[in-house]
Structure 1
Amino acid sequence: MFNVLSDINWLSVLVAFIAYFLLGPLWYLFLFPKQYRISLGKAPDAQLSQDPIYIVGPAVCTLAITLTSTVLLYALNSTSYNDAVSFTVLVGVGYLVANTINIAINPNIPRPFLYGVITGSYHLIGTLLVSVILIAMK
């Protein structure tokens, strides 16, 4: 599986990572800020923490997801947009959305299913972006 590393278009990985990472602020600060805060049990207009871990952490995680998706897409010899969508549904729903909801089901997240829908759909769209960019630039 790892024999695909030399075939990877690393510029596409960078572009895909940037797109996925920038989707985060769009998603959580502009599209669903109130719903996200409510899912965390905060007031809809509460100020979210500006701690650097909330920028660096998601960057590291989206990079890991992007790199893993790249290796899998190349190992699976995915070449079409249909492949990108199929991969997104399989990995996005099967791993990312399911794991997001599973993590949210704990006493610290007061609205786990709302959190799961918001964050899971972010990862689903992010994975679709990554997959489409990687296929387009392959």
Structure 2
Amino acid sequence: MLTVLPAINWLSVLVAFVLYFGLGAFWYLFLFPKPYRISLGRSANEPQSGNPLYIVGPAVCSLIITLTSAVLLYALNVTSYGAATLFAAVVGGGYLVTNTVNIAINPNIPRPFLYGLITGSYHFVGLLLISLLLVAMR
């Protein structure tokens, strides 16, 4: 599977990573900031933490998801938008969304299904966008 590494368009990986990470910032800071905080049991108006971990951690995770998706898309020889959409549905729904909800179902997250909906849909949309972009720039 790793034999596809030389064939990967690394510029597309960089662009897809920036898109995915940027979508996260937009998602949590502008689209769903209050519902996200509520899902975590915080006040809807509580300010975001300035801890760098909350920027660096998601960036590293977004990069790893983007790299893994590129390897899989190339290994599976996904070359059409339809196949990229199917890939995003299977991987996004089957792994990212379900794992997000599973992680949320614990005593530390008071509204696990709200959290799962917000964060799971971010990952689903993000994976769809990066899959389409990686195929477009192949």
Q: Return structure 1 stretches of 4+ with deviation > 4 angstroms.
A: none
| CA displacement, residues 53-92 of structure 1 (integer Å, 9 cap, x when unaligned) | 0000000000000000000000000000001100000000
Residue in structure 2 matched with residue 137 of structure 1 by the alignment:
137
Q: 1:14 maps to which residue?
A: 14
The corresponding residue for 1:70 is 70
How many residues align structurally?
Answer: 138
The answer for unaligned runs of 5 or more in structure 1 is none
**Counterparts of residues 96-115 of structure 1 (less than 5 Å):** 96-115=96-115
Alpha-carbon distance between aligned partners in 2 of 1:72 and 1:56, rounded to the nearest angstrom? 24
Letter paired with 2:120 = G
| Superposition TM-score, scaled by structure 1 size | 0.99
Structure 1: distance between partners of 2:116 and 2:64: 20
Question: Hey, what does 1:93 align to over in structure 2?
Answer: 93
The aligned counterpart of 1:32 is 32
Alpha-carbon RMSD? 0.5
Q: Which amino acid aligns with 1:85?
A: T
Deviation of the 1:25 alpha carbon: 1.1
Q: Give percent identity, aligned residues only.
A: 69
